[in-house]
Amino acid sequence: MTDSTLPHYQTLRIERTDRLLTVEMNRPELLNAVNLLMLTELSEVFIYAASDPHSDVVLLTGAGRAFSAGGDLEHIAGNAEHPERFEHEARLAKKIIFSMLDLEKPLICRLNGHAVGLGATLALMCDVIFAVDSAKIGDPHVALGLVAGDGGAAIWPQRIGFGRAKEYLMTGELLSAPKAEQIGLINHSVAAAELDDRVDAFCRRLLEGATKAIRWTKVLVNQELKRVVHSVLDTGLAYEGLSAHSADHKEGVRALLEKRKPVYGRSPEPEPKQ
């Protein structure tokens, strides 16, 4: 039976069990890839979660075998041909990130499968991450000739330090869940058969705890994180917007569509001094 107090979304599924609110990205046939509609709905759902009087913990997950494959390929290809669309989508991305960080309720990630690009950013902006051990996580913006500006450059260094963050963001390498746990990118890598029980037990522990103390502890910890994201995100989105107009980005998208390795241009050699 549908709870009439919950909002209806086309690309997200919302459920409430006791005082746990579950937000599930729901495009399983496309590995929960993010198109404009999902981007819009994600920019709204955490604002709803913050105001929902019937929940104290929020769980973010994906339907099917992936958490989120990042940007929808058709959507990315369309944007490559019309980079002027980026300004609107940058505003939505910023709204998503800050609505997640402003959410006082604990936000737990059930990483049920691969999390790539924006999908990785959504996972990493959560407070605690439980990942199935077969999942991979990474931010391969650079593989498409784009700057990792929609949150990756802000959150990766906070979780694993600048050196490792630069290595993985500049190469776009995907990490296995066990490796991600080892370096502190995620909290827990668990077997598929144990994922639901581990997530349920942790959420139940929070729900049985002192609600105000838990919320305000999160708020306190997030003060510094929000300061960092505020200082980085606008610049990151601006650089990503510049790269969206580049020939390298168009080549990256063409190569992806044609299922081949991209051939990127090189920066011009400086003119010799006279």
Q: Is the pLDDT of residue 105 over 60?
A: yes
How does residue 267 score in pLDDT terms, banded at 50, 70 and 90?
A: low
Q: What percent of the chain has pLDDT over 90?
A: 86
- Residue-wise pLDDT for 119-140, tens only, equals 999 999 999 999 999 999 999 9
- Residue-wise pLDDT for 137-168, tens only, equals 999 999 999 999 999 999 999 999 999 999 99
57: three-class secondary structure by DSSP: strand
Q: Evaluate whether residue 240 is within a structural domain.
A: yes
Cα 256 off chain centre by:
21
**Poorest-confidence range of 66-80, 92-106, 174-188, 256-270?**
256-270
Q: What is the pLDDT of residue 270?
A: 54
Domain containing 221 equals 12-258
Alpha-carbon gap, residue 93 to 102, rounded angstroms: 14
Q: What torsion do the CA atoms of 221, 187, 50, 13 make, to the nearest 10 degrees?
A: 170
Q: What percent of the chain has pLDDT over 70?
A: 96
Q: Evaluate whether residue 268 is within a structural domain.
A: no
Strands (E), the chain: 12-17, 20-25, 57-62, 66-68, 107-111, 114-116, 128-132, 136-138, 175-176, 188-190
Q: Evaluate whether residue 272 is within a structural domain.
A: no
Average pLDDT over residues 62-90: 87
Q: Evaluate whether residue 192 is within a structural domain.
A: yes
Q: Evaluate whether residue 273 is within a structural domain.
A: no
Alpha-carbon gap, residue 248 to 159, rounded angstroms: 29
Tally of domains within the chain: 1
* CATH number, position 209: 3.90.226.10
Structure tokens at 176: 């296995």
Average pLDDT over residues 177-185: 98
Q: Look up residue 136 and give its amino acid.
A: K
Q: What is the pLDDT of residue 228?
A: 96
Q: Evaluate whether residue 141 is within a structural domain.
A: yes
Q: Evaluate whether residue 271 is within a structural domain.
A: no
Q: What is the pLDDT of residue 39?
A: 96
Alpha-carbon gap, residue 5 to 22, rounded angstroms: 14
Beta bridge partners of 61: 24, 110
- Residue-wise pLDDT for 182-220, tens only, equals 999 999 999 999 999 999 999 999 999 999 999 999 999
Q: Evaluate whether residue 85 is within a structural domain.
A: yes
